[in-house]
Structure 1
Amino acid sequence: MHAALICRDKTDALSLRMDTRQAHLDYVARTGVVEFAGPFLNDKGQMCGSLIILRVDSLDIARAWAAEDPYAKAGLFESVEIHEWKKVIG
């Protein structure tokens, strides 16, 4: 199954995002469950959140993955939504 993580950064958290970005990217590579991902951008073109699509066996696994993400552990996110997602196009 696929799980979509919709993560919104806290206000003025770009420096925290940049400070933890490499750890986040290393986690993505190490875990091997991210099918695709990328940042949301604000009106200034700055990163302000993330869309992450995971390929996992359950939403519980997706929740556990999200909790262990270095971004989450650093307190970057104001909110995180996790939904089952069905790929239809692409």
Structure 2
Amino acid sequence: MHISNNAGREVITVIRPLRCITCCFPCYLQELEVQVPPGTTVGYIVQKWDPLLPKFTIQNESKEDVLMIIGPYLTFSCLGDVDFEV
């Protein structure tokens, strides 16, 4: 994904390889690479395996854990927002 500013200049690139969306295959969990400016990696978002909850780790450019994101058991809602705790 390429994110541009109002002048049309690309300022952020997000790279997400094709991965499986089910927790049954923990070797293919989601992973994003964030580049700012494009070509310079500033961090990663990595899904951690959990049988019940969506869990993600924010990592710096050296792949060191910085933050943890934990979502609810049900990640959809017809009545309002779904909150993820950081």
Q: Which has the higher helix share?
A: 1
Q: Normalized against structure 2, the TM-score is what? A: 0.28
Q: Normalized against structure 1, the TM-score is what? A: 0.27
Larger Rg: 2
